């Protein structure tokens, strides 16, 4: 059985779904085996890198009573049918064919060779400053370790603009959208600001596909201790299923923001995010209240900083002053994440 221990598994009766999963596996040359018998599944359950379960087989799988594990994904043709099995299986969910591109990114075996830590910063609702937090974390990390910043937020507006680097020459996503497989070192070709390399939106404003995103992230991770991703609301594949990935969800400390974040968590099927609580005027909930409402732990908080919007409008990086309160907050968050 040792020869099969690194095969991912597909458990599904829907031939159309099976074909889509197998095609995605073939695209990245990742071994995939279809399993139909409970004995075969029990034997391969722990060792398989990833397991894809059709919604039509989810009840059967739950009935087997196998131990929960990471790397299980429920696939189906509608959000309703896959979400029904997210909690019982403690699994991520994928609606096909719309999210078929995510399968290749999940299966890309090269991700295991990347050595850095991937910090995905997600916004639980609009207007909280997730991009600002991502930029601040990357700036603070760069003072301690080789670090990079990657923009993968739809309609992000250009992380290089936020850092005052829009005129700095270098490759952006327009130049890297065709990336695939294993890339050579790209850091020297990226725009830098104060020693921080970044992959930002290009003039077209178009986001890359899952394979390009995975290829670039994997390459940057090989040469950086920390890679911070401005992941927006999780619209794009950004290494969320990789073992070295940590996902930070920025949530406002008010009822509307918490409800919006809870709806987003349910829609995306997130199981292992960590919370950063955004406080300030009109946001009076305690971090403990936010944690209890969402069912995730809190790793830090970010307060209200009246000067930040003005500084950002003039291209002043958000954590430029190492002693600023915002920089201290970012250091606290980073320490909590990197020490665990």
Q: pLDDT band at 44, cuts 50/70/90?
A: very high
Residue 224 has what pLDDT? 93
CATH topology of domain 109-338: Rossmann fold (3.40.50)
What are 126-173's pLDDT values in tens digits? 889 999 999 999 999 999 999 999 999 987 788 999 899 999 999 999
What are 287-330's pLDDT values in tens digits? 999 999 999 999 999 999 988 888 887 778 887 776 799 999 99
Residue 209 has what pLDDT? 86
Domain ranges, ordered by start, for the chain: 2-107, 109-338
Q: How far apart are CA 221 and CA 301, in angstroms?
A: 26
Residue 181 has what pLDDT? 62
Q: What angle do CA 136, 142, 147 make, to 5 degrees?
A: 100
Q: Are 107 and 24 in contact (CB under 8 A)?
A: yes
Residue 32 has what pLDDT? 94
2-107 and 109-338 have identical folds: yes
Task: Write the secondary structure of 128-163 as one string of H (helix), E (strand) and C (coil).
Answer: CCHHHHHHHHHHHHHCCCCEEEEECCCCCCCHHHHC
pTM of the model: 0.74
- List residues bridging with 251 in a β-sheet: 277
Q: pLDDT band at 4, cuts 50/70/90?
A: very low
Q: Indicate whether 111 pLDDT > 70.
A: no
DSSP state of 208: P
Q: Which residue has the tokens 């009766």?
A: 13
Q: Indicate whether 1 pLDDT > 80.
A: no
Q: Which of 240, 226, 177 is CA-nearest to residue 197? A: 226
Q: pLDDT band at 14, cuts 50/70/90?
A: very high
Q: pLDDT band at 282, cuts 50/70/90?
A: very high
What are 215-272's pLDDT values in tens digits? 899 889 988 999 999 999 998 878 887 778 899 999 999 999 999 999 999 888 888 8
Strands, DSSP E only, in the chain? 8-11, 32-34, 51-54, 72-76, 92-95, 117-123, 147-151, 192-193, 196-199, 226-230, 245-252, 274-278, 298-302
Q: How far apart are CA 309 and CA 315, in angstroms?
A: 10
Q: Indicate whether 182 pLDDT > 90.
A: no
Q: Tell me the CATH architecture of domain 2-107.
A: 3-Layer(aba) Sandwich (3.40)
On the question of a cis peptide bond just before residue 191, with omega within 30 degrees of 0, the verdict is: no
List Cα–Cα distances, 112 to 6, 15, 24, 214, 243, in angstroms.
12, 29, 18, 12, 8
Q: Which of 161, 117, 131, 160 is CA-nearest to residue 302? A: 131
Q: pLDDT band at 71, cuts 50/70/90?
A: confident
């Amino acid at each position: 059985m040792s020869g099969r221990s690194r095969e991912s598994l597909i458990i599904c009766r829907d031939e159309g779904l099976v074909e889509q999963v197998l095609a995605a596996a073939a695209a990245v040359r990742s071994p995939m085996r279809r399993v139909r018998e409970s004995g075969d599944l029990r034997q391969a359950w722990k060792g398989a890198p990833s397991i894809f379960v059709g919604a039509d087989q989810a009840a059967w799988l739950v009935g087997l009573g196998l131990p929960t594990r990471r790397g299980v994904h429920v696939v189906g043709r509608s959000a309703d049918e896959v979400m029904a099995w997210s909690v019982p299986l403690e699994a991520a969910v994928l609606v096909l064919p719309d999210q078929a591109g995510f399968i290749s990114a999940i299966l890309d075996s090269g991700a295991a060779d990347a050595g850095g830590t991937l910090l995905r910063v997600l916004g639980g609702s609009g207007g909280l400053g997730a991009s600002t937090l991502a930029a601040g974390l990357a700036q603070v990390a760069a003072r301690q370790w080789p670090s990079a910043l990657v923009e993968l937020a739809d309609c992000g507006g250009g992380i290089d603009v936020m850092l005052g680097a829009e005129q700095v020459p270098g490759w952006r996503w327009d130049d890297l959208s065709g990336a695939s497989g294993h890339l050579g070192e790209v850091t020297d070709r990226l725009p830098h600001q104060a020693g921080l390399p970044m992959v930002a939106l290009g003039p077209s404003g178009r986001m890359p596909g899952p394979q390009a995103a995975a290829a670039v992230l994997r390459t940057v991770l090989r040469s950086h201790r920390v890679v911070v991703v401005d992941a927006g609301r999780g619209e794009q594949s950004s290494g969320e299923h990789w073992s070295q990935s940590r996902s930070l969800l920025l949530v406002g400390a008010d009822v509307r923001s918490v409800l919006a974040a809870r709806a987003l968590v349910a829609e995306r099927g997130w199981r292992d995010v960590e919370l950063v609580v955004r406080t300030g005027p009109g946001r009076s909930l305690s971090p403990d209240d936010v944690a209890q409402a969402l069912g995730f732990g809190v790793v830090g908080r970010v307060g209200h900083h009246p000067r930040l919007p003005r500084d950002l409008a003039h291209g002043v990086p958000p954590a430029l002053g190492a002693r600023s309160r915002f920089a201290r907050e970012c250091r606290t968050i980073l320490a909590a994440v990197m020490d665990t």
